[in-house]
Structures are given as structure tokens and as C-alpha cells.
Amino acid sequence: MLKLLLTIGGGIAMGLTPDPFRLWWLAWIGVVPLWVSLTKVKPLTGFGLGFSWGMAYHGMALFWITGVHPMTWLGVSWWHSLTIATVVWLIITLFGALLSGLWAGGMAWAGLQGWHKIICACALFSSLEVVWSWTPLYWTALGYTQSPDNLIILQISKLAGQQTVTAAIMAVNGLIGEAVLSKGIARKMYIYTCLGLVAIMGSYGLWSMYIDRAGDLTPIRAGIIQGNIANPVKLRPEGIQTAIDNYYQGYLQLAQSGAELILTPEVAIPLRYSPDHPSFALFRSAVQTYGVPLWLGAFGNLNPDRPDYTNSLFLLAKQEPTTPQYNKVRLVPVGEYIPFREIVGGLIRRLSPLRGEVVAGANDQIIDSPWGRLIMGICYESAYPQHFRYQAEAGGQLILTASNNAHYAESMPAQHHAQDVARAVETDRWAVRATNTGYSGIVDPKGRTIWRSSINTYEVHQETVYLRTSKTLYVQWGDWLTPLLDLISLAIVIKLRLLPSAPI
């Protein structure tokens, strides 16, 4: 029972690292109670301890999901709305808890100690997070706990992406855990190694923060319009008209004050895009008059003959003979499509606000613009590092993201901003992010927030950002650290568990 309580306490500590608490430093000790509790336990017990730790961590960090309730404005009853919010929160929490349960169970099975245990723990947790990132339910990786407050350490993500930070957090927790379990010289060695590792990461982070060998290239005056259209009215005729008015006036203000690029949020105009539609013709006319390109969020379609639609950003530009379009790739389960449609589709349709499903865009979209090649993301995609890495490796020079965020608790847009900060650091790019109700922002390649909007306010802002062509080690090689740790760990396990008599 004591082990379980200590483990849950560690999970709670980890849950305090992101917004709204922002106690990022707890991540470096939050796994220690679980680490110590895994000493001499059976794999099933280890799984239970890890699962409990994960329930505490992910449950706290993701509690903002329940803020989607009530959805009565979508025609969903109050009780059905509460059911949807609770079930979604529990499913995502259980998904994360399964990951930490498998990790703890695997470590208990391996029965390793000391340095071997630390290396294998880093490899296994990083590998499980990589597999997790292939699913549609990914957000609370260990690495995200350090953004946006611990920018010094966040710089190590330039080496091998977010998994670098995850592995570092696990290594420090493991070294502290082994120090707790050891005595004498061994304890001192773990402590000194831990301090040395932190010093090396801190030194690299400081060097990376304040020495820029790549340099900024072409400056661009980027404009952002935060329309502040509340979700309960967004889809009604009066809400649509308010959105048209707010974004049109915002465009005129920015275009007349020198902006060279203007970005609107996800589905800023909640209509299916058509160049002949009066609402979109209004924006096209303004672009022709002022010549300032506009990224306009709206619904699109891949197949005009089907009722499905895309969540898209459309580039309206004076010199463009066609309208380039970026379609969201990473869709929100239940919010934008029905998962496991064949099995539970009927039930979800009765509970879900969906009346039509969103179709995902292609994974290999490359967006060229009058300013050069761009890195694009819509809302949920901010949690997926590989989505941004692919576009940066293909030559993307500036990150543009658009989100809504209006239907969640305030901690969600703050965590969303933190995700974009991490993506800017990993790719060494400036990031421009427009949201409906906040937080919109401008982030530099070091992760420093140059400007961030208020929450639930209408705002129009412009800032100078820069195109960059540098490529971090992560952009060039991807996550090379996890496979390397896996190979070393495999050799350790084979030697100790399968070939105990073989020379090392």
C-alpha cells in the first residue's frame, strides 16, 4: 500500500508540471517514487504501479478536456454532453496510463539494476512514446512538461526531438532513484553522474540559446487576427456574420498598417469555401485591392460529390492563379471523426455533436507560398513533432499554426501554446500561431514568446518574423536517439537474461 501511495504521489507531482500549475521542475523527480517502488516486484505488480502513476499524471494534465462540457449549443443534451466529456477524458487518460503501466511492467520483468536499468528505462519509455505518437491520442509526452518554462533544457530537443527531453527526464529520475536505493560509493557515483548530466544539458542549452550560427534571413511582417467568436454562437447565422465582420475588418487594419502576411484561426469562417460565395468573394476582393496574402480558415472538400469535408487553410493571394489549400492531417477523435466506426459508430453518433465527418488531408503536403515554403499545422497537429519535422526537412522556413481552442478550459490553450513552442525549438523556426479566442502568439526559434494574446478577447497584432533555412540535427536525422538506446538495451537484456554466461 505504501508503494502505491508513493507512486500515485509521484504521478500527481508529474501532473503539476504543465499548465495551469507550471511546476516543470517536478518532472525531474516525479518518476522517482515509481522507480523505487519497482524494486523486487513481479511484472503484474509493476504494471499496476505504473498504471496508477499514469492515471494520476495524465488525468491531472488532461483534465481540461472536460471543459468541452456542456455542448448544449450543439443540440446535445446536458447529460449526454457530460457523458461525452467524461468518457473522452477517461479514454485518453487510460491510454497514457497503459503506456506507463507497460513500461513499469517491462522494467519489473527485466529485473535490472544500476546503470543497465537506467539505460533500458530510457529506451523503453522513449520507444513506448514513439509508438504512442503513431496513434490519434497523443499529447502528454514527458518531454512536453518542460515547455514553455524550461527553455534552457528544451534546447536539447534540437538533437533528436522531443524524445531527447523524455530520455533526459527518465535518466535523471533513474539516477536519483538508484542513489536512493544505493549506499556508499555507488550512491555518490549516481549523484555525481546526475549532476554532471544536468550540467552538460544546461551548458548545451545556454550555448544554443545565446549563440545563433544559422541567423535569420528574410524578414516578414506577420499579422494575426484573433476573432474571439464564442463556440455557442459560431455556427449560428449571427455568429457567422460576426466572424465575417471581425476577420474582414482585421484584414483591412493589418493590410493598411504594413502587414505582409495575415493568418486567421482554424475555421475562422465556418462555411465551405467557394470563390464565388459572397462571404469569400469579399475577402478575395480585399486581397486584390491591398495585395496582402491571407491565410483564411474554412471548411473545404476533397471530393465535391461526398458530404464529407476538410478542415483547411486557404491562401488568398493577388498573384496566385489558383487557391493553395492546406488540409488538416491529424484529426480529433469524436470531435472531427468517429473512431472504430464499424464497432461503436452507432452509439457515438447518438451522443456525438458530429453531423458530418472531417476527411484527413495527405501526410505529404508541401505548401509553397509567395514568401517561400512553409510549415503548416492546424490545432491538434501541434502535439505531433514528426508532422513539423517532415515539412522542415522538405525546406519549410516558417511555422504557421491555426487553432480554435474556444471550447476548453484556459489551461488547454496555454498547453497548446507550449506545444508550438516546442515545435519551434526542435525545428529552429519562427512560429506564428492564430487562435479563435487565445492564446495567439509569436515564438522565436529559441522558444521565447515574443508576443502572446490575452484570452477571450478580439485582437489584431503584427510582428516581424524571419524565414530560416537552417536544419537542426533532429530535422536532418529525426529521432536517432531512441533506436540507439534500443540497440544498447537489447544487447544488455540478451547478455543478462538470455546469455548470462557469455562474456560482456
Whether 144 and 282 map to the same domain: the answer is no
Q: Judge contact between 75 and 95, C-beta under 8 A.
A: no
* Phi–psi pair at 110, nearest 5 degrees: -65, -35
Give the residue among 107, 121, 116, 91 at the shortest CA–CA distance from 41: 107
Exactly one of 120, 122, 194, 379 is catalytic; which is it?
379
Provide the Cα torsion 287, 291, 294, 298; round to 10°: 20
Whether 406 and 483 map to the same domain: the answer is no
Whether 9 and 105 map to the same domain: the answer is yes
Q: SS3 for 67?
A: helix
Query: Annotated catalytic, 379?
Result: yes
In a domain, 352, yes or no: no
Residue 461: strand pairing partners: 224
Whether 93 and 173 map to the same domain: the answer is yes
In a domain, 334, yes or no: no
- Alpha-carbon span 426 to 446, nearest angstrom: 9
Whether 145 and 227 map to the same domain: the answer is no
DSSP run (H or E) holding 449: strand 449-452
Domain membership of residue 106 as a residue range: 2-211+479-498
User: What DSSP string describes 363-405?
Assistant: TT--EEETTEEEEEEEGGGGG-HHHHHHHHHTT--SEEEEE--
Whether 394 and 422 map to the same domain: the answer is yes
Q: Could you give the strand order of the β-sheet that contains 310-316, starting from the edge strand earlier in sequence?
A: 325-327, 310-316, 294-300, 261-263, 219-226, 459-466
Whether 155 and 224 map to the same domain: the answer is no
Residue 434: strand pairing partners: 402
CATH code where residue 396 lies? 3.60.110.10
In a domain, 504, yes or no: no
Q: In 282-319, which positions are buried (b, 16+ CB within 10 angstroms) versus exposed (e)? A: ebbebbeebebbbbbbbbbbeeeeeeebbbbbbbbbee
Query: What is the sign of the dihedral through the CA atoms of 72, 74, 77 and 81?
Result: negative
Counted domains in the chain: 2
- Alpha-carbon span 41 to 123, nearest angstrom: 20
Q: What's residue 333's pLDDT?
A: 77
Q: Judge contact between 92 and 137, C-beta under 8 A.
A: yes
In a domain, 262, yes or no: yes
Whether 70 and 158 map to the same domain: the answer is yes
Q: SS3 for 66?
A: helix
Query: What is the sign of the dihedral through the CA atoms of 288, 289, 291 and 292?
Result: negative
CA distances from 71 to 293, 299, 379 (A): 35, 21, 19
* Phi–psi pair at 375, nearest 5 degrees: -110, 115
- Alpha-carbon span 495 to 112, nearest angstrom: 11
- Alpha-carbon span 496 to 492, nearest angstrom: 6
Question: What's the grid cell of residue 226?
Answer: 484573433
Q: What's residue 165's pLDDT?
A: 98
Whether 256 and 396 map to the same domain: the answer is yes
Whether 65 and 153 map to the same domain: the answer is yes
Q: SS3 for 151?
A: helix
In a domain, 370, yes or no: yes
- Alpha-carbon span 335 to 347, nearest angstrom: 14
- Alpha-carbon span 58 to 64, nearest angstrom: 11
Query: Annotated catalytic, 328?
Result: yes
Whether 78 and 140 map to the same domain: the answer is yes
- Pick out the chain residues at pLDDT < 50: 342-355, 504
| Maximum separation of any 2 CA atoms in the chain, in Å | 79
In a domain, 8, yes or no: yes
Exactly one of 266, 381, 426, 459 is catalytic; which is it?
266
* Phi–psi pair at 497, nearest 5 degrees: -105, -35
pTM for the structure as a whole: 0.92
In tens, the pLDDT along 44-56 reads 999 999 999 999 9
Exactly one of 3, 158, 328, 446 is catalytic; which is it?
328
In a domain, 157, yes or no: yes
Q: What's residue 71's pLDDT?
A: 67
In tens, the pLDDT along 286-324 reads 999 999 999 999 999 877 666 678 999 999 998 766 778
**Beta strands, E only, 391-445:** 399-403, 431-435, 441-443
Question: What's the grid cell of residue 408?
Answer: 476548453
Whether 39 and 93 map to the same domain: the answer is yes
∠ CA 467-162-15, nearest 5°, is: 120
Q: What's residue 349's pLDDT?
A: 45
Residue 219 has a CB neighbour count (10 Å cut-off) of 12
Q: Judge contact between 373 and 395, C-beta under 8 A.
A: yes
Total residues belonging to the chain: 504
In a domain, 120, yes or no: yes
Residue 127 has a CB neighbour count (10 Å cut-off) of 18
Query: Annotated catalytic, 266?
Result: yes
3-state secondary structure string, 308-342? CEEEEEEEECCCCCCCCEEECCCCCECCCECCCHH
